[in-house]
A = this chain, B = another copy of it.
Amino acid sequence: MRLARIQYEGNPVYAVTEGDELALIEGDPFGTHTATGTRVPLDGATLLYPTTPTKIVAMAVNYRSHGDPVATPQPFLKTPSALIGPGQSIVLPPDAGRVDEEGEVVAVIGRRAKGISPEDIDAYIFGYTCGNDVSAREWQKNDVQWWRGKSSDTFAVVGPWIETELDPEAITFRARVNGETVQDAHTSELVFGIRECVSFISQVMTLEPGDLVYTGTPGTTASISAGDVVEIEVEGIGVLRNPVVDG
């Protein structure tokens, strides 16, 4: 199943894809829901970020190609006020200096999770989507913590929808800037696998339905500038495409 959140008659509503259409649903998007009977063409629909999470956790240095080895998973927090969805502009803060894209696979929580083992965590993961963990490198390096380096408004990009039928250990994904591939990786290259990361986070903090876990970025990220278009493509999900503008 592919779950999307769209703007419909002025309001955000959830929908599932059916061929080239979106079937609107009502009820719990992560649990029991039913079709409203309304269908709209996928082409031309205004897709929003696909969940409204209470929190976003992201993994630092989780591909060997991206940083030095670490002994335990290394999460950090991003705040939901930074969220944007497909097609929305990534806004470069005027005084931030270099800003990079970071292509990632993002896990979406489906059930409240606390203290869940990696073996049991699949029941708490609803699905996966594409993510861009936009990062201001100078702020990330020079501030005590990564608050604005990772959570300035528009720095948490996700979408276009959530795919529930993916094997988290067998996902190929890539990032492109203006059509040129800048990152290309597979989740088998993760230092700590997706199940292990989500389980690790759940040991200390309660994860809620709709919460997001960015699972780490591979290789060398690319700096982005106003006028660029960034695409994060996750095979089996789709493409998350965003223009970049100056703030």
Contact = CB atoms under 8 A, between A and B. Distances in A.
A2 interface: no
Interface string A59-81: 01100000000101011111111
A34 interface: no
Contacts of A70: 144
Count of chain copies:
2
B93 A151 contact: no
A241 to B, nearest CB: 23
Nearest to A77: B77
Given A152-B205, A204-B153, A61 B144 contact: yes
Interface residues of A, number: 33
A79 B152 contact: no
25 contacts: A54-B79, A54-B80, A55-B79, A55-B81, A57-B147, A60-B144, A72-B143, A74-B145, A75-B145, A75-B148, A76-B144, A76-B147, A77-B77, A77-B78, A79-B205, A81-B205, A81-B207, A82-B205, A114-B153, A145-B146, A148-B205, A151-B205, A152-B204, A152-B205, A153-B206
